[in-house]
Structure 1
Amino acid sequence: MTRIAHLSDLHFGFHREDLVEPLLERVNGSGADLVVVTGDLTHRGRPGQFRQAAEFLARLTAPHMAVPGNHDVPLYNIPVRFLRPYADYDEAISPDRAPTGAAGWARVHGINSVDPFAWQRGVVHEDDIGRVLGSLDALAVNIVALHHPLQQLPQVDKELARRAPEALARFEAGGVRIALTGHLHLWAVGSLLGLGHPHLLQVQAGTALCARLDDRQNEFAVLEIEGDDLRIERHVAPMDEAGFRAPELLDFTRGEGGWIELETDRGITP
Protein backbone atom coordinates (compact mmCIF):
# COMPACT_ATOMS: atom_id res chain seq x y z
CA MET A 1 0.00 0.00 0.00
CA THR A 2 1.26 3.46 -0.97
CA ARG A 3 -0.12 6.78 0.28
CA ILE A 4 0.41 10.03 -1.64
CA ALA A 5 -0.84 13.40 -0.41
CA HIS A 6 -1.78 15.74 -3.26
CA LEU A 7 -1.83 19.50 -2.57
CA SER A 8 -2.27 22.27 -5.10
CA ASP A 9 -2.72 26.03 -5.32
CA LEU A 10 -1.37 27.09 -1.94
CA HIS A 11 -1.18 30.75 -3.03
CA PHE A 12 1.10 31.98 -0.25
CA GLY A 13 0.68 35.73 -0.11
CA PHE A 14 -3.09 35.39 -0.49
CA HIS A 15 -3.73 32.41 1.75
CA ARG A 16 -5.76 31.48 4.81
CA GLU A 17 -3.20 32.04 7.54
CA ASP A 18 -5.42 30.33 10.10
CA LEU A 19 -5.48 27.15 8.01
CA VAL A 20 -1.72 26.67 7.66
CA GLU A 21 -1.31 24.82 10.94
CA PRO A 22 -4.42 22.61 10.49
CA LEU A 23 -3.22 21.75 6.98
CA LEU A 24 0.25 20.80 8.15
CA GLU A 25 -1.20 18.78 11.02
CA ARG A 26 -3.58 16.91 8.73
CA VAL A 27 -0.99 16.23 5.99
CA ASN A 28 1.71 15.18 8.46
CA GLY A 29 -0.76 12.91 10.20
CA SER A 30 -2.00 11.31 6.99
CA GLY A 31 0.68 8.62 6.80
CA ALA A 32 1.73 9.86 3.37
CA ASP A 33 4.81 8.26 1.83
CA LEU A 34 5.15 11.23 -0.55
CA VAL A 35 3.62 14.71 -0.80
CA VAL A 36 3.06 16.06 -4.32
CA VAL A 37 2.38 19.79 -4.80
CA THR A 38 1.04 20.72 -8.23
CA GLY A 39 1.87 24.38 -8.52
CA ASP A 40 0.80 27.87 -7.50
CA LEU A 41 2.80 27.72 -4.32
CA THR A 42 2.69 31.55 -4.36
CA HIS A 43 0.12 34.13 -5.38
CA ARG A 44 2.33 36.56 -7.29
CA GLY A 45 5.72 34.86 -7.51
CA ARG A 46 7.40 37.31 -5.10
CA PRO A 47 10.48 36.46 -3.00
CA GLY A 48 8.68 36.83 0.33
CA GLN A 49 5.88 34.56 -0.84
CA PHE A 50 8.39 31.96 -1.94
CA ARG A 51 10.01 32.11 1.49
CA GLN A 52 6.63 31.35 3.07
CA ALA A 53 6.11 28.44 0.68
CA ALA A 54 9.59 27.06 1.35
CA GLU A 55 9.03 27.26 5.10
CA PHE A 56 5.80 25.32 4.69
CA LEU A 57 7.45 22.61 2.60
CA ALA A 58 10.29 22.32 5.12
CA ARG A 59 7.76 21.43 7.82
CA LEU A 60 6.36 18.46 5.90
CA THR A 61 7.49 15.24 7.55
CA ALA A 62 7.20 13.09 4.40
CA PRO A 63 9.38 13.51 1.30
CA HIS A 64 7.87 16.01 -1.11
CA MET A 65 8.09 17.12 -4.72
CA ALA A 66 6.64 20.18 -6.42
CA VAL A 67 6.11 21.59 -9.89
CA PRO A 68 5.51 25.27 -10.74
CA GLY A 69 2.16 26.88 -11.46
CA ASN A 70 1.42 29.98 -13.49
CA HIS A 71 1.23 32.08 -10.31
CA ASP A 72 4.83 31.08 -9.53
CA VAL A 73 6.21 33.37 -12.23
CA PRO A 74 5.88 37.17 -11.98
CA LEU A 75 2.71 38.60 -13.51
CA TYR A 76 3.38 42.35 -13.49
CA ASN A 77 7.18 42.41 -13.74
CA ILE A 78 7.23 41.76 -17.47
CA PRO A 79 11.02 41.85 -18.06
CA VAL A 80 11.64 39.32 -15.28
CA ARG A 81 8.74 37.11 -16.43
CA PHE A 82 10.21 36.89 -19.92
CA LEU A 83 13.94 36.81 -19.10
CA ARG A 84 14.22 35.05 -15.70
CA PRO A 85 10.76 33.71 -14.89
CA TYR A 86 11.89 30.95 -12.52
CA ALA A 87 14.74 32.68 -10.68
CA ASP A 88 12.92 32.95 -7.36
CA TYR A 89 11.25 29.55 -7.72
CA ASP A 90 14.60 27.89 -8.39
CA GLU A 91 16.21 29.52 -5.38
CA ALA A 92 13.42 28.93 -2.85
CA ILE A 93 11.76 25.69 -3.99
CA SER A 94 14.02 23.74 -6.36
CA PRO A 95 15.90 24.23 -9.62
CA ASP A 96 14.36 20.93 -10.74
CA ARG A 97 10.99 22.03 -12.12
CA ALA A 98 10.14 18.58 -13.47
CA PRO A 99 11.13 16.26 -10.61
CA THR A 100 10.39 12.58 -10.25
CA GLY A 101 9.36 10.79 -7.10
CA ALA A 102 9.00 7.17 -6.02
CA ALA A 103 6.98 5.70 -3.19
CA GLY A 104 6.03 2.05 -2.89
CA TRP A 105 3.78 1.11 -5.81
CA ALA A 106 3.97 4.54 -7.43
CA ARG A 107 6.29 6.50 -9.69
CA VAL A 108 5.46 10.20 -10.04
CA HIS A 109 6.68 12.11 -13.08
CA GLY A 110 6.60 15.91 -12.69
CA ILE A 111 5.95 18.27 -15.61
CA ASN A 112 6.38 22.04 -15.74
CA SER A 113 3.28 23.17 -17.66
CA VAL A 114 3.81 26.91 -17.17
CA ASP A 115 4.10 29.16 -20.22
CA PRO A 116 5.57 32.54 -19.12
CA PHE A 117 4.55 34.03 -22.48
CA ALA A 118 0.88 33.06 -22.10
CA TRP A 119 0.65 33.53 -18.35
CA GLN A 120 -2.55 31.70 -17.51
CA ARG A 121 -3.05 29.12 -20.25
CA GLY A 122 -0.02 26.85 -19.93
CA VAL A 123 1.53 24.31 -22.27
CA VAL A 124 2.66 20.68 -22.22
CA HIS A 125 5.90 20.55 -24.16
CA GLU A 126 6.67 17.77 -26.60
CA ASP A 127 9.97 17.12 -24.84
CA ASP A 128 8.14 16.51 -21.56
CA ILE A 129 5.72 14.07 -23.15
CA GLY A 130 8.63 12.11 -24.62
CA ARG A 131 10.61 12.24 -21.37
CA VAL A 132 7.73 10.86 -19.33
CA LEU A 133 6.88 8.13 -21.82
CA GLY A 134 10.53 7.13 -21.98
CA SER A 135 10.86 6.78 -18.22
CA LEU A 136 7.70 4.86 -17.29
CA ASP A 137 8.15 1.91 -14.94
CA ALA A 138 6.28 -1.13 -16.26
CA LEU A 139 6.05 -2.62 -12.76
CA ALA A 140 4.67 0.51 -11.06
CA VAL A 141 1.59 2.72 -11.07
CA ASN A 142 2.82 5.63 -13.16
CA ILE A 143 1.52 9.08 -12.26
CA VAL A 144 2.03 12.45 -13.94
CA ALA A 145 1.92 15.63 -11.86
CA LEU A 146 1.49 19.07 -13.43
CA HIS A 147 -0.32 22.30 -12.68
CA HIS A 148 -2.63 22.60 -15.68
CA PRO A 149 -5.37 20.02 -16.31
CA LEU A 150 -5.13 17.70 -19.29
CA GLN A 151 -8.90 17.80 -19.72
CA GLN A 152 -11.74 19.90 -18.32
CA LEU A 153 -15.41 19.48 -17.57
CA PRO A 154 -17.73 21.16 -20.13
CA GLN A 155 -18.73 23.92 -17.71
CA VAL A 156 -15.13 25.13 -17.23
CA ASP A 157 -14.51 28.27 -19.28
CA LYS A 158 -10.71 28.50 -18.98
CA GLU A 159 -8.65 27.79 -22.06
CA LEU A 160 -7.06 24.34 -21.95
CA ALA A 161 -3.26 24.21 -21.96
CA ARG A 162 -1.67 23.86 -25.37
CA ARG A 163 -0.98 20.26 -26.36
CA ALA A 164 -2.99 18.97 -23.37
CA PRO A 165 -5.32 16.73 -25.44
CA GLU A 166 -2.36 15.18 -27.24
CA ALA A 167 -0.50 14.65 -23.97
CA LEU A 168 -3.56 13.04 -22.38
CA ALA A 169 -4.03 10.59 -25.26
CA ARG A 170 -0.36 9.66 -25.44
CA PHE A 171 0.02 9.28 -21.68
CA GLU A 172 -3.04 7.04 -21.52
CA ALA A 173 -1.85 4.88 -24.42
CA GLY A 174 1.66 4.70 -22.97
CA GLY A 175 0.61 3.43 -19.56
CA VAL A 176 0.23 6.48 -17.30
CA ARG A 177 -2.60 5.59 -14.93
CA ILE A 178 -3.17 8.74 -12.83
CA ALA A 179 -2.76 12.47 -13.45
CA LEU A 180 -2.53 14.95 -10.55
CA THR A 181 -3.37 18.54 -11.51
CA GLY A 182 -4.71 21.80 -10.07
CA HIS A 183 -5.14 25.33 -11.48
CA LEU A 184 -8.95 25.46 -11.61
CA HIS A 185 -9.60 25.51 -7.84
CA LEU A 186 -12.32 23.02 -8.72
CA TRP A 187 -12.37 19.40 -7.52
CA ALA A 188 -13.07 16.77 -10.17
CA VAL A 189 -12.26 13.05 -10.40
CA GLY A 190 -15.04 10.58 -11.17
CA SER A 191 -16.94 13.05 -13.35
CA LEU A 192 -14.02 13.08 -15.80
CA LEU A 193 -14.11 9.34 -16.44
CA GLY A 194 -16.98 9.68 -18.90
CA LEU A 195 -15.10 12.09 -21.16
CA GLY A 196 -13.29 9.48 -23.22
CA HIS A 197 -10.15 8.52 -21.29
CA PRO A 198 -11.12 5.81 -18.80
CA HIS A 199 -7.63 4.31 -18.48
CA LEU A 200 -6.12 7.51 -17.00
CA LEU A 201 -7.76 8.73 -13.80
CA GLN A 202 -7.48 12.51 -13.53
CA VAL A 203 -7.43 13.94 -10.02
CA GLN A 204 -8.05 17.67 -10.30
CA ALA A 205 -7.47 19.24 -6.89
CA GLY A 206 -9.12 22.25 -5.36
CA THR A 207 -7.05 24.91 -3.62
CA ALA A 208 -5.28 23.95 -0.41
CA LEU A 209 -4.93 27.45 1.09
CA CYS A 210 -6.13 30.24 -1.23
CA ALA A 211 -8.28 32.81 0.61
CA ARG A 212 -10.49 33.71 -2.37
CA LEU A 213 -14.03 33.60 -0.99
CA ASP A 214 -15.52 32.45 -4.30
CA ASP A 215 -13.72 29.13 -3.86
CA ARG A 216 -15.92 28.46 -0.80
CA GLN A 217 -13.55 25.84 0.61
CA ASN A 218 -9.98 24.64 0.80
CA GLU A 219 -8.98 21.03 0.35
CA PHE A 220 -6.37 18.42 -0.41
CA ALA A 221 -6.46 14.70 -1.13
CA VAL A 222 -4.64 11.57 -0.06
CA LEU A 223 -4.40 8.72 -2.56
CA GLU A 224 -4.02 5.21 -1.18
CA ILE A 225 -2.80 2.87 -3.91
CA GLU A 226 -2.78 -0.90 -3.65
CA GLY A 227 -2.36 -2.77 -6.92
CA ASP A 228 -5.31 -1.92 -9.17
CA ASP A 229 -7.31 -0.38 -6.32
CA LEU A 230 -7.32 3.26 -5.31
CA ARG A 231 -8.95 5.00 -2.37
CA ILE A 232 -9.01 8.80 -2.34
CA GLU A 233 -9.50 10.70 0.91
CA ARG A 234 -10.78 14.20 0.17
CA HIS A 235 -10.07 16.53 3.09
CA VAL A 236 -12.24 19.68 2.97
CA ALA A 237 -12.08 22.88 5.06
CA PRO A 238 -15.04 25.18 4.32
CA MET A 239 -14.21 28.89 4.36
CA ASP A 240 -16.54 29.52 7.29
CA GLU A 241 -15.10 26.74 9.46
CA ALA A 242 -11.87 26.64 11.45
CA GLY A 243 -10.38 23.43 10.11
CA PHE A 244 -10.82 20.28 8.09
CA ARG A 245 -13.87 18.05 8.26
CA ALA A 246 -13.70 14.27 8.35
CA PRO A 247 -12.58 13.09 4.90
CA GLU A 248 -14.89 12.04 2.13
CA LEU A 249 -13.88 8.61 0.77
CA LEU A 250 -13.95 7.66 -2.90
CA ASP A 251 -12.99 4.20 -4.16
CA PHE A 252 -11.85 3.27 -7.66
CA THR A 253 -10.61 0.08 -9.27
CA ARG A 254 -8.89 -0.52 -12.59
CA GLY A 255 -9.74 -3.35 -14.98
CA GLU A 256 -9.58 -4.10 -18.69
CA GLY A 257 -12.04 -1.31 -19.44
CA GLY A 258 -10.18 1.24 -17.36
CA TRP A 259 -10.98 2.90 -14.05
CA ILE A 260 -14.43 2.66 -12.51
CA GLU A 261 -15.75 4.34 -9.39
CA LEU A 262 -17.18 2.04 -6.74
CA GLU A 263 -19.98 2.65 -4.30
CA THR A 264 -18.38 3.95 -1.12
CA ASP A 265 -19.26 5.16 2.32
CA ARG A 266 -18.37 8.72 1.37
CA GLY A 267 -18.03 10.20 4.83
CA ILE A 268 -18.74 13.91 5.25
CA THR A 269 -18.48 16.62 2.62
CA PRO A 270 -20.02 20.11 2.36
Structure 2
Amino acid sequence: MTRIVHLSDLHFGFHRAGLTDHLLERVNGAGADLVVVTGDVTHRGRRDQYDQAAAFLSRIQAPVMAVPGNHDVPLYNVLVRYLAPYAGYRRAMGPELTPTRQAGRVRVLALNSVDPCAVQRGVIREGEIGRLVGGLDPLSMNVVALHHPLEHLAEVDKELTRRAPEALARLERAGARIVLSGHLHVWATGAMLDQTAHPGVLQIQAGTALCGRPSDRQNEFAVLQIDGPLLTIERHVAPMDEPSFRPPEYEYFSHESGIWVAHQPAEKPIVPGATETAFSTA
Protein backbone atom coordinates (compact mmCIF):
# COMPACT_ATOMS: atom_id res chain seq x y z
CA MET A 1 0.00 0.00 0.00
CA THR A 2 1.30 3.45 -0.97
CA ARG A 3 0.02 6.83 0.16
CA ILE A 4 0.55 9.91 -2.02
CA VAL A 5 -0.48 13.47 -1.20
CA HIS A 6 -1.49 15.49 -4.26
CA LEU A 7 -1.10 19.26 -3.90
CA SER A 8 -1.64 21.75 -6.70
CA ASP A 9 -1.95 25.48 -7.31
CA LEU A 10 -0.54 26.76 -4.04
CA HIS A 11 -0.17 30.26 -5.54
CA PHE A 12 2.16 31.65 -2.88
CA GLY A 13 1.88 35.42 -3.12
CA PHE A 14 -1.90 35.22 -3.52
CA HIS A 15 -2.60 32.49 -0.98
CA ARG A 16 -4.75 32.10 2.14
CA ALA A 17 -2.04 32.69 4.70
CA GLY A 18 -4.30 31.62 7.55
CA LEU A 19 -4.77 28.21 5.97
CA THR A 20 -1.08 27.46 5.44
CA ASP A 21 -0.36 25.88 8.82
CA HIS A 22 -3.59 23.88 8.68
CA LEU A 23 -2.55 22.51 5.29
CA LEU A 24 0.92 21.62 6.56
CA GLU A 25 -0.53 19.86 9.59
CA ARG A 26 -2.87 17.78 7.41
CA VAL A 27 -0.13 16.90 4.93
CA ASN A 28 2.31 15.85 7.65
CA GLY A 29 -0.41 13.84 9.33
CA ALA A 30 -1.30 11.92 6.19
CA GLY A 31 1.42 9.28 6.52
CA ALA A 32 2.44 9.90 2.92
CA ASP A 33 5.19 8.04 1.13
CA LEU A 34 5.42 10.89 -1.40
CA VAL A 35 3.99 14.37 -1.89
CA VAL A 36 3.38 15.38 -5.53
CA VAL A 37 2.93 19.07 -6.37
CA THR A 38 1.45 19.70 -9.81
CA GLY A 39 2.49 23.27 -10.46
CA ASP A 40 1.68 26.91 -9.73
CA VAL A 41 3.63 26.93 -6.50
CA THR A 42 3.80 30.72 -6.92
CA HIS A 43 1.37 33.33 -8.18
CA ARG A 44 3.71 35.35 -10.39
CA GLY A 45 7.06 33.55 -10.30
CA ARG A 46 8.68 36.25 -8.14
CA ARG A 47 11.64 35.64 -5.84
CA ASP A 48 9.76 36.41 -2.63
CA GLN A 49 6.94 34.09 -3.68
CA TYR A 50 9.40 31.31 -4.42
CA ASP A 51 10.98 31.89 -1.02
CA GLN A 52 7.58 31.43 0.63
CA ALA A 53 6.87 28.29 -1.39
CA ALA A 54 10.28 26.76 -0.66
CA ALA A 55 9.91 27.49 3.04
CA PHE A 56 6.53 25.78 3.12
CA LEU A 57 7.64 22.72 1.16
CA SER A 58 10.77 22.36 3.31
CA ARG A 59 8.51 21.75 6.31
CA ILE A 60 6.83 18.75 4.69
CA GLN A 61 8.17 15.59 6.30
CA ALA A 62 7.62 13.21 3.35
CA PRO A 63 9.68 13.30 0.13
CA VAL A 64 8.39 15.96 -2.26
CA MET A 65 8.44 16.06 -6.07
CA ALA A 66 7.10 18.95 -8.12
CA VAL A 67 6.53 20.17 -11.65
CA PRO A 68 6.20 23.82 -12.75
CA GLY A 69 2.94 25.50 -13.71
CA ASN A 70 2.22 28.43 -16.00
CA HIS A 71 2.22 30.83 -13.02
CA ASP A 72 5.75 29.72 -12.12
CA VAL A 73 7.31 31.63 -15.02
CA PRO A 74 7.31 35.45 -14.84
CA LEU A 75 4.26 36.97 -16.52
CA TYR A 76 5.34 40.60 -16.88
CA ASN A 77 9.14 40.26 -17.06
CA VAL A 78 9.10 39.32 -20.72
CA LEU A 79 12.87 39.07 -21.12
CA VAL A 80 13.23 36.52 -18.32
CA ARG A 81 10.07 34.74 -19.42
CA TYR A 82 11.56 33.89 -22.81
CA LEU A 83 15.28 33.68 -22.07
CA ALA A 84 15.32 31.96 -18.66
CA PRO A 85 11.74 31.02 -17.77
CA TYR A 86 12.63 28.42 -15.13
CA ALA A 87 15.52 30.22 -13.39
CA GLY A 88 13.43 31.13 -10.36
CA TYR A 89 11.82 27.71 -10.20
CA ARG A 90 15.15 25.91 -10.32
CA ARG A 91 16.66 28.19 -7.67
CA ALA A 92 13.86 27.50 -5.21
CA MET A 93 12.59 24.06 -6.17
CA GLY A 94 15.69 22.31 -7.49
CA PRO A 95 17.09 21.68 -10.96
CA GLU A 96 14.70 18.94 -12.07
CA LEU A 97 11.69 19.94 -14.18
CA THR A 98 10.63 16.35 -14.92
CA PRO A 99 11.59 14.17 -11.95
CA THR A 100 10.66 10.51 -11.54
CA ARG A 101 10.08 8.94 -8.15
CA GLN A 102 9.30 5.42 -6.95
CA ALA A 103 7.20 4.91 -3.82
CA GLY A 104 6.63 1.24 -3.13
CA ARG A 105 4.84 -0.24 -6.12
CA VAL A 106 3.91 3.18 -7.47
CA ARG A 107 6.02 5.00 -10.04
CA VAL A 108 5.40 8.74 -10.57
CA LEU A 109 6.74 10.39 -13.73
CA ALA A 110 6.62 14.17 -14.18
CA LEU A 111 5.89 16.10 -17.36
CA ASN A 112 6.59 19.81 -17.79
CA SER A 113 3.58 21.12 -19.70
CA VAL A 114 4.40 24.84 -19.39
CA ASP A 115 4.71 26.87 -22.59
CA PRO A 116 6.58 30.13 -21.85
CA CYS A 117 5.36 31.47 -25.18
CA ALA A 118 1.75 31.18 -24.02
CA VAL A 119 0.11 32.76 -21.00
CA GLN A 120 -2.09 29.85 -19.96
CA ARG A 121 -2.27 27.10 -22.51
CA GLY A 122 0.06 24.16 -21.99
CA VAL A 123 2.06 22.15 -24.49
CA ILE A 124 3.45 18.62 -24.67
CA ARG A 125 6.77 18.89 -26.41
CA GLU A 126 8.11 16.63 -29.11
CA GLY A 127 9.67 13.53 -27.61
CA GLU A 128 8.07 13.93 -24.17
CA ILE A 129 5.38 11.29 -24.72
CA GLY A 130 8.03 8.81 -25.80
CA ARG A 131 10.15 9.65 -22.78
CA LEU A 132 7.23 8.96 -20.46
CA VAL A 133 6.32 5.72 -22.23
CA GLY A 134 9.92 4.56 -21.97
CA GLY A 135 9.96 5.29 -18.25
CA LEU A 136 6.86 3.30 -17.31
CA ASP A 137 7.36 0.28 -15.07
CA PRO A 138 5.21 -2.76 -15.98
CA LEU A 139 5.37 -3.97 -12.37
CA SER A 140 4.17 -0.68 -10.85
CA MET A 141 1.08 1.49 -10.80
CA ASN A 142 2.28 4.20 -13.20
CA VAL A 143 1.27 7.78 -12.42
CA VAL A 144 1.95 10.81 -14.64
CA ALA A 145 2.06 14.23 -12.97
CA LEU A 146 1.78 17.52 -14.87
CA HIS A 147 0.19 20.92 -14.40
CA HIS A 148 -2.21 21.10 -17.35
CA PRO A 149 -4.96 18.46 -17.67
CA LEU A 150 -4.93 16.09 -20.63
CA GLU A 151 -8.71 16.39 -20.98
CA HIS A 152 -11.30 18.96 -19.90
CA LEU A 153 -14.82 18.69 -18.62
CA ALA A 154 -17.34 19.94 -21.16
CA GLU A 155 -18.08 23.00 -18.99
CA VAL A 156 -14.46 24.24 -18.96
CA ASP A 157 -13.74 27.08 -21.38
CA LYS A 158 -9.92 27.12 -21.33
CA GLU A 159 -7.95 25.82 -24.29
CA LEU A 160 -6.76 22.25 -23.95
CA THR A 161 -3.03 21.59 -23.84
CA ARG A 162 -1.48 21.10 -27.25
CA ARG A 163 -1.04 17.39 -28.11
CA ALA A 164 -3.01 16.37 -25.01
CA PRO A 165 -5.34 13.92 -26.83
CA GLU A 166 -2.36 12.14 -28.39
CA ALA A 167 -0.58 11.99 -25.04
CA LEU A 168 -3.62 10.60 -23.24
CA ALA A 169 -4.22 7.89 -25.84
CA ARG A 170 -0.58 6.80 -26.03
CA LEU A 171 -0.09 6.80 -22.28
CA GLU A 172 -3.20 4.66 -21.81
CA ARG A 173 -1.98 2.13 -24.36
CA ALA A 174 1.48 2.03 -22.78
CA GLY A 175 0.22 1.36 -19.25
CA ALA A 176 -0.06 4.70 -17.45
CA ARG A 177 -2.99 4.34 -15.05
CA ILE A 178 -3.35 7.66 -13.23
CA VAL A 179 -2.77 11.26 -14.33
CA LEU A 180 -2.45 13.99 -11.69
CA SER A 181 -2.98 17.59 -12.79
CA GLY A 182 -4.19 20.99 -11.62
CA HIS A 183 -4.42 24.36 -13.39
CA LEU A 184 -8.21 24.70 -13.54
CA HIS A 185 -8.79 24.98 -9.77
CA VAL A 186 -11.62 22.50 -10.34
CA TRP A 187 -11.72 19.07 -8.67
CA ALA A 188 -12.69 16.31 -11.09
CA THR A 189 -12.27 12.53 -10.87
CA GLY A 190 -15.47 10.55 -11.35
CA ALA A 191 -16.89 13.29 -13.57
CA MET A 192 -13.88 12.88 -15.89
CA LEU A 193 -14.30 9.11 -15.86
CA ASP A 194 -17.92 9.49 -16.90
CA GLN A 195 -17.06 11.47 -20.04
CA THR A 196 -13.68 10.12 -21.16
CA ALA A 197 -12.99 7.74 -24.02
CA HIS A 198 -9.92 6.52 -22.09
CA PRO A 199 -11.19 4.70 -18.97
CA GLY A 200 -7.87 2.91 -18.56
CA VAL A 201 -6.50 6.18 -17.13
CA LEU A 202 -8.01 7.83 -14.07
CA GLN A 203 -7.57 11.58 -14.38
CA ILE A 204 -7.37 13.25 -10.98
CA GLN A 205 -7.71 16.99 -11.49
CA ALA A 206 -6.97 18.86 -8.27
CA GLY A 207 -8.56 21.98 -6.91
CA THR A 208 -6.35 24.72 -5.51
CA ALA A 209 -4.64 23.99 -2.22
CA LEU A 210 -4.14 27.61 -1.08
CA CYS A 211 -5.12 30.19 -3.73
CA GLY A 212 -7.16 33.03 -2.24
CA ARG A 213 -9.31 33.77 -5.30
CA PRO A 214 -12.89 34.06 -3.97
CA SER A 215 -14.49 32.60 -7.10
CA ASP A 216 -12.79 29.27 -6.40
CA ARG A 217 -15.07 28.99 -3.35
CA GLN A 218 -12.85 26.42 -1.61
CA ASN A 219 -9.34 25.13 -1.17
CA GLU A 220 -8.53 21.45 -1.17
CA PHE A 221 -6.00 18.70 -1.57
CA ALA A 222 -6.16 14.92 -1.83
CA VAL A 223 -4.48 11.85 -0.37
CA LEU A 224 -4.31 8.81 -2.63
CA GLN A 225 -4.06 5.37 -1.03
CA ILE A 226 -3.06 2.84 -3.69
CA ASP A 227 -3.30 -0.85 -2.87
CA GLY A 228 -2.71 -2.90 -6.00
CA PRO A 229 -5.61 -2.13 -8.37
CA LEU A 230 -7.62 -0.41 -5.61
CA LEU A 231 -7.58 3.33 -5.01
CA THR A 232 -9.03 5.29 -2.12
CA ILE A 233 -8.99 9.09 -2.34
CA GLU A 234 -9.28 11.25 0.76
CA ARG A 235 -10.42 14.68 -0.34
CA HIS A 236 -9.73 17.46 2.19
CA VAL A 237 -11.82 20.59 1.56
CA ALA A 238 -11.63 24.03 3.22
CA PRO A 239 -14.45 26.35 2.08
CA MET A 240 -13.37 29.97 1.70
CA ASP A 241 -15.64 31.06 4.55
CA GLU A 242 -14.28 28.46 6.99
CA PRO A 243 -10.93 28.68 8.80
CA SER A 244 -9.65 25.15 8.18
CA PHE A 245 -10.24 21.83 6.45
CA ARG A 246 -13.32 19.77 7.05
CA PRO A 247 -13.06 16.03 7.80
CA PRO A 248 -12.06 14.20 4.61
CA GLU A 249 -14.54 12.95 2.05
CA TYR A 250 -13.81 9.58 0.44
CA GLU A 251 -13.92 8.31 -3.12
CA TYR A 252 -13.23 4.71 -4.13
CA PHE A 253 -12.05 3.35 -7.49
CA SER A 254 -10.79 0.02 -8.79
CA HIS A 255 -8.83 -1.08 -11.86
CA GLU A 256 -9.34 -4.82 -11.44
CA SER A 257 -11.18 -5.17 -14.76
CA GLY A 258 -8.53 -3.30 -16.77
CA ILE A 259 -10.47 -0.04 -16.73
CA TRP A 260 -11.24 2.26 -13.82
CA VAL A 261 -14.59 1.82 -12.10
CA ALA A 262 -15.95 4.33 -9.59
CA HIS A 263 -17.72 2.96 -6.53
CA GLN A 264 -19.79 6.08 -5.87
CA PRO A 265 -21.70 8.58 -8.02
CA ALA A 266 -19.55 11.13 -9.82
CA GLU A 267 -19.00 14.42 -8.05
CA LYS A 268 -20.50 17.66 -9.39
CA PRO A 269 -17.48 19.90 -10.03
CA ILE A 270 -17.56 23.59 -9.11
CA VAL A 271 -16.50 25.05 -12.45
CA PRO A 272 -16.68 28.89 -12.25
CA GLY A 273 -13.02 29.34 -11.34
CA ALA A 274 -11.98 27.80 -14.63
CA THR A 275 -13.26 30.84 -16.52
CA GLU A 276 -10.70 33.24 -15.03
CA THR A 277 -7.75 34.40 -17.14
CA ALA A 278 -4.09 34.45 -16.18
CA PHE A 279 -4.17 38.25 -16.24
CA SER A 280 -6.90 38.33 -13.60
CA THR A 281 -6.41 37.37 -9.98
CA ALA A 282 -5.25 33.83 -10.69
The separation in 2 between residues aligned to 1:65 and 1:51, in whole angstroms, is 17
1:142-167 deviations in Å (ceiling 9; x for gaps): 00000000000000000001011100
The separation in 1 between residues aligned to 2:264 and 2:73, in whole angstroms, is 41
Match of 1:174 in 2: 174
Match of 1:201 in 2: 202
**After the TM superposition, which residues 48-87 of structure 1 pair with which residues of structure 2 at under 5 Å, given as runs?**
48-87=48-87
Percent identity reads: 64
The separation in 2 between residues aligned to 1:126 and 1:2, in whole angstroms, is 32
**Corresponding letter in the other structure for 1:236:** V
**After the TM superposition, which residues 78-157 of structure 1 pair with which residues of structure 2 at under 5 Å, given as runs?**
78-157=78-157
1:147-201 deviations in Å (ceiling 9; x for gaps): 0000000000000010111000000010000000000000000111132110000
Match of 2:277 in 1: none
**Corresponding letter in the other structure for 1:223:** L
Match of 1:18 in 2: 18
The separation in 2 between residues aligned to 1:163 and 1:206, in whole angstroms, is 23
Structure 1 residue 26: Cα displacement: 0.2
Match of 1:254 in 2: 255
Structure 1 residue 102: Cα displacement: 1.1
* Contact residue 230 and residue 256 of structure 2 kept, 8 A: no
The separation in 2 between residues aligned to 1:23 and 1:126, in whole angstroms, is 36
The separation in 2 between residues aligned to 1:191 and 1:11, in whole angstroms, is 25
1:1-30 deviations in Å (ceiling 9; x for gaps): 100000000000000000000000000000
Q: Give aligned pairs, total.
A: 265
1:68-89 deviations in Å (ceiling 9; x for gaps): 0000000011111000111111
Q: Is 1:235–2:236 an aligned residue pair?
A: yes
The separation in 1 between residues aligned to 2:105 and 2:252, in whole angstroms, is 17
Match of 1:218 in 2: 219
Match of 1:47 in 2: 47
SS in 1 for 2:192: helix
The separation in 2 between residues aligned to 1:49 and 1:93, in whole angstroms, is 12
The separation in 2 between residues aligned to 1:200 and 1:75, in whole angstroms, is 33
The separation in 2 between residues aligned to 1:128 and 1:95, in whole angstroms, is 18
**TM-score for the superposition, normalised by structure 1:** 0.97
Structure 1 residue 94: Cα displacement: 1.3
The separation in 1 between residues aligned to 2:199 and 2:27, in whole angstroms, is 29
The separation in 2 between residues aligned to 1:125 and 1:255, in whole angstroms, is 32
User: Any runs of at least 4 consecutive aligned residues in structure 1 with deviations exceeding 6 A, and if so which?
Assistant: none
Gaps of 5+ in 2: 268-282
The separation in 2 between residues aligned to 1:163 and 1:157, in whole angstroms, is 17
The separation in 2 between residues aligned to 1:225 and 1:126, in whole angstroms, is 31
SS in 2 for 1:82: helix
- RMSD of aligned alpha carbons: 1.1
The separation in 1 between residues aligned to 2:252 and 2:183, in whole angstroms, is 24
The separation in 2 between residues aligned to 1:174 and 1:125, in whole angstroms, is 18
Gaps of 5+ in 1: none
